[in-house]
Structure 1
Amino acid sequence: MTAPGDRAERGRAARKRVPRSGHGSWIVPVDRPDPVGVLERQGRDRLPELLPIRYGRMAASPFAFLRGSAAVMAADLASQPHTGLTVQLCGDAHLLNFGLYASPERTLLFDLNDFDETFPGPFEWDVKRLAASVAVAGQENGHEDAKVRRSVVEAVAAYRHNMRRLARHGELAVWYERIDAESLLPLARSARRRRQVAASLTRARRRTSLQAVGKLTEVVDGRRRIVHDPPLLEPAGASDMASLRKIFSDYRSTLSEERRLLLDRYRFVDAARKVVGVGSVGMRCFVVLLAGRDADDPLFLQIKEARKSVLEEHLPSGPYVHPGHRVVAGQRLLQAASDIFLGWMTGPQGRAYYWRQLRDMKGSADVAGMSPADLLGYARLCGTALARAHARSGDRVAIAAYLGGADTFDQAVADFALAYAGRTVADHAALCAAVAAGVVRAAPEV
């Protein structure tokens, strides 16, 4: 292993390639791909009947557009020089891809929670996507420009401070680092906000497979079945059901031995196609209901199609050929603790999938309802979590040395984020214009 001093020198040397102040400039390239065209290309191999839902959800607001346009931003980031300081990127590190979930020990943690686009790449790409999402959210909430900027700066500063802190820690200390959900309570500035956070934690703890059974299933002719709620939740047809039963055994083989034994204690009950997220709409996704000891011992698993990351066309090849393996490996590397049922396999027509629990005490923030103070605190928390994730997979010593003790990087990324927020508003308007002109069809409020 290279000595810490040499690693730090590598980080400082990266400033010659990309000065920290250089992150603030972003000029729209003359040959920038049309954002609506990028989205349409993504949709070519998706389920066509679901694409109007995707466009309808993205047309709802600039922040919703940002959520669904990771491919657009990936191309924009790739048009800039980068540091070459590589980490395992989340690939889609916006504010709503952080949240609560349960560790295998049943501790409620706060961390990144979406890894569909995970891929090795320059650390600043995740930081810039997070910063841009803070800027768009703040503007959408009607915050004053100065307060929006301060929230962005605090997110980036939290990333920088925590990366520098973790650079001084040993390997195991960094690996075991985690953000316990209880640490969120002191961040609330008022008694009212603390009550809201406490209520959110309580709701997350209740979001389990047992709760999902009450919401997503019904008893028909004495047998429990997943409800029919088209187009968002539709029972799998006979052919899909046969395929799911087959690939279930293939998925099982990617689990460790003790988890295979646990999974074998459940029996297959029912399955359904489910629409999830914003950018993911149109990709094939199913939920599977399993039963353990009896009907009161359920397990809901989600099977989601995995494609190439939106980052792959802009970066060198990664270590995983199978897209599902890429997602699972990236999640295990970035999260402080991961779902025990994470696995992957290849399904019909050679499509890649990954598996995970549908609900395991998951919870997310209501960004749209945040005051300036609340957004600032939440942005800081997300920056902290992102630094912890990157420190596990990249050279934290080199990144910390690159960032330095001054706020040069923080201010520059804030400049970028505010400029990119303006671009996002324009891109959102272009999508709305395409919908109005009939170029794409959108189903609003679905």
Structure 2
Amino acid sequence: MAASAQAYVRGSTVHFYEWLASGNRARLPQGPDIWICGDCHVGNLGPVANIHGDVEIQIRDFDQTVVGNPVYDLIRLGLSLAMAARGSDLPGITTAHMLEHMIEGYETAFLPRDPKNSVELNAAMPEIVKRLMRKSAGRSWKHLADERIEGVKPVIPRGRRFWQMTVEERRAIDLLFAQEQVRRLVTSLRSRDENAEIRVLDAAYWRKGCSSLGRLRFAVLAAVGAGKDERHCLMDIKEAAAPVAPRSLIGDLPLDNAHRVVEGGRELSPFLGERMLSAVLLGKAVFVRELMPQDLKIEIKQISIDNAKSIAKYLAHIVGLAHARQLSRPKRKTWLAELQHNRSKSLDAPSWLWNSVVALVAAHEAAYLNHCRRYALENSG
């Protein structure tokens, strides 16, 4: 989190919602009770493959998903984009234009449309996203294996990222993969025999970011089929913790956190959601998914003024589609009217979005510097 201000934003979801819960913010519109991402920053969107091999840009993380107010996703995305602009040393006017384009892209997702039309008809795909899509389409198992487990050998290397498991943990994973529901999940890809047997080749505790510390997180290398038809796959098992994103008091939210993550994923990102399964491991609620070579995250290290506007519009449109697909046409129309209510004539972005992002940028800048100071003090000498 000390690596950059953007990294701090990604890892400080709790701080984000603490600010929203405080009284020092603009009054937010109350949107429809729908599934939201809850942690909608730039890195949580990207190319995602479905079981048939198709690839689309969709939301790709659901740890914080709840039935709640969609404005939380908009503000979190706006903060992420604003911090990306600051990291690229862009003038403040660019941030204002980004938020204008962002709300425009989001709103177009709620306009009447032919469901068969592609995303590009409503929001042009930026060049950075086109390059990522081309990269995604050209990737294979070898690319994934090289990145994740340092080669295609049927072992997971122990070291900084992967740690040795206990005998109890390995036994529990073997029992989990012996379940029929897990076998069906692993063999669900179009390229695999749905009747094939699977077996665990290796497994390790996976230290992957802040969210893996103190919780169960395992990487499992499995074999599908046998002999010349044997194929390998890498599965991710992650404990589902309670969300910090505020939930609606009206919406029906599963009590089991793994069920919550999977259900939210299927509503927000059908491509990834259909590849997920909730289960119980060592008494903990976990969700299981296969890591696909085509799954990538959008990373913005440097951004130009022109690209900033198109990226903001496009990514907000993707989020809008995830929200809109859950609503009937009359409810989409009502939410669109609410978004356009009392809009300033001089600034197209609504004041609640602008004021929220400005206040959050200031709060996160200060919090980030204090975090870096503590990190430096703890690691000095």
TM-score (normalizing by structure 1): 0.72
Residue number in structure 2 paired with 1:113: 60
Mapping for residues 13-32 of structure 1, pairs under 5 Å: none
Looking at structure 1, the residues matched to 135 and 370 of structure 2 have their Cα atoms a distance apart, in angstroms, of 37
Shift of 1:332: 0.3
Looking at structure 1, the residues matched to 133 and 167 of structure 2 have their Cα atoms a distance apart, in angstroms, of 39
Name the % identity.
21
Shift of 1:208: 4.2
Looking at structure 1, the residues matched to 50 and 9 of structure 2 have their Cα atoms a distance apart, in angstroms, of 29
Q: Do the aligned partners of residues 256 and 202 (structure 1) sit closer, same or farther apart at CA in structure 2, a change above 3 Å counting?
A: closer
Residue number in structure 2 paired with 1:224: 154
Question: Which of 30, 54, 58 matches 1:84?
Answer: 30
SS in 1 for 2:62: coil
Runs (5+) with no aligned partner, structure 1: 1-57, 189-193
| Structure having the larger proportion of residues in helix | 1
Looking at structure 1, the residues matched to 163 and 309 of structure 2 have their Cα atoms a distance apart, in angstroms, of 39
SS in 2 for 1:353: strand
Looking at structure 2, the residues matched to 153 and 137 of structure 1 have their Cα atoms a distance apart, in angstroms, of 16
Q: Do the aligned partners of residues 418 and 267 (structure 1) sit closer, same or farther apart at CA in structure 2, a change above 3 Å counting?
A: same
Looking at structure 2, the residues matched to 70 and 422 of structure 1 have their Cα atoms a distance apart, in angstroms, of 15
Looking at structure 2, the residues matched to 214 and 257 of structure 1 have their Cα atoms a distance apart, in angstroms, of 21
Residue number in structure 2 paired with 1:94: 41
Looking at structure 1, the residues matched to 303 and 132 of structure 2 have their Cα atoms a distance apart, in angstroms, of 14
Bigger CA drift: 405-414 or 153-162?
Answer: 405-414
Looking at structure 1, the residues matched to 317 and 365 of structure 2 have their Cα atoms a distance apart, in angstroms, of 27
Mapping for residues 155-194 of structure 1, pairs under 5 Å: 155-163=102-110, 165=111, 168-169=112-113, 179=119, 187-188=125-126, 194=127
Deviations 1:210-241, CA, capped at 9 Å, x for gaps: 4333451568xxx821122x221234343221
Looking at structure 2, the residues matched to 400 and 313 of structure 1 have their Cα atoms a distance apart, in angstroms, of 21
Looking at structure 2, the residues matched to 371 and 263 of structure 1 have their Cα atoms a distance apart, in angstroms, of 50
Shift of 1:118: 0.2
Residue number in structure 2 paired with 1:212: 144
Residue number in structure 1 paired with 2:272: 338
Shift of 1:199: 4.4
Runs (5+) with no aligned partner, structure 2: none
Residue number in structure 2 paired with 1:60: 3
Q: Do the aligned partners of residues 209 and 371 (structure 1) sit closer, same or farther apart at CA in structure 2, a change above 3 Å counting?
A: same
Residue number in structure 2 paired with 1:401: 337
Q: Is the 8 A contact 2:9 2:364 kept in 1?
A: yes
Matched AA of 2:143: Q
CA RMSD of aligned residues (A): 3.2
Matched AA of 2:68: G
Q: Is the 8 A contact 1:95 1:133 kept in 2?
A: yes
Looking at structure 2, the residues matched to 389 and 281 of structure 1 have their Cα atoms a distance apart, in angstroms, of 29
Looking at structure 2, the residues matched to 76 and 320 of structure 1 have their Cα atoms a distance apart, in angstroms, of 26
Q: Do the aligned partners of residues 318 and 208 (structure 1) sit closer, same or farther apart at CA in structure 2, a change above 3 Å counting?
A: farther
Residue number in structure 2 paired with 1:287: 219
Looking at structure 2, the residues matched to 266 and 430 of structure 1 have their Cα atoms a distance apart, in angstroms, of 49
Residue number in structure 2 paired with 1:299: 233
Q: Do the aligned partners of residues 368 and 257 (structure 1) sit closer, same or farther apart at CA in structure 2, a change above 3 Å counting?
A: closer
SS in 2 for 1:149: helix
Shift of 1:309: 0.9
Q: Do the aligned partners of residues 404 and 339 (structure 1) sit closer, same or farther apart at CA in structure 2, a change above 3 Å counting?
A: closer
Instruction: Indicate whether 1:248 and 2:177 are aligned.
Output: yes
Aligned length: 363
Q: Do the aligned partners of residues 322 and 207 (structure 1) sit closer, same or farther apart at CA in structure 2, a change above 3 Å counting?
A: farther
Instruction: Indicate whether 1:351 and 2:252 are aligned.
Output: no
Residue number in structure 2 paired with 1:423: 363
SS in 2 for 1:355: strand
Residue number in structure 2 paired with 1:5: none
Matched AA of 2:369: A
Bigger CA drift: 400-409 or 376-385?
Answer: 400-409
Q: Is the 8 A contact 2:44 2:298 kept in 1?
A: no
Shift of 1:247: 2.4
TM-score (normalizing by structure 2): 0.84
Q: Do the aligned partners of residues 320 and 254 (structure 1) sit closer, same or farther apart at CA in structure 2, a change above 3 Å counting?
A: farther
Looking at structure 2, the residues matched to 381 and 311 of structure 1 have their Cα atoms a distance apart, in angstroms, of 24
Q: Do the aligned partners of residues 70 and 63 (structure 1) sit closer, same or farther apart at CA in structure 2, a change above 3 Å counting?
A: same
Looking at structure 2, the residues matched to 339 and 330 of structure 1 have their Cα atoms a distance apart, in angstroms, of 8
Matched AA of 2:279: M
Q: Do the aligned partners of residues 280 and 382 (structure 1) sit closer, same or farther apart at CA in structure 2, a change above 3 Å counting?
A: farther
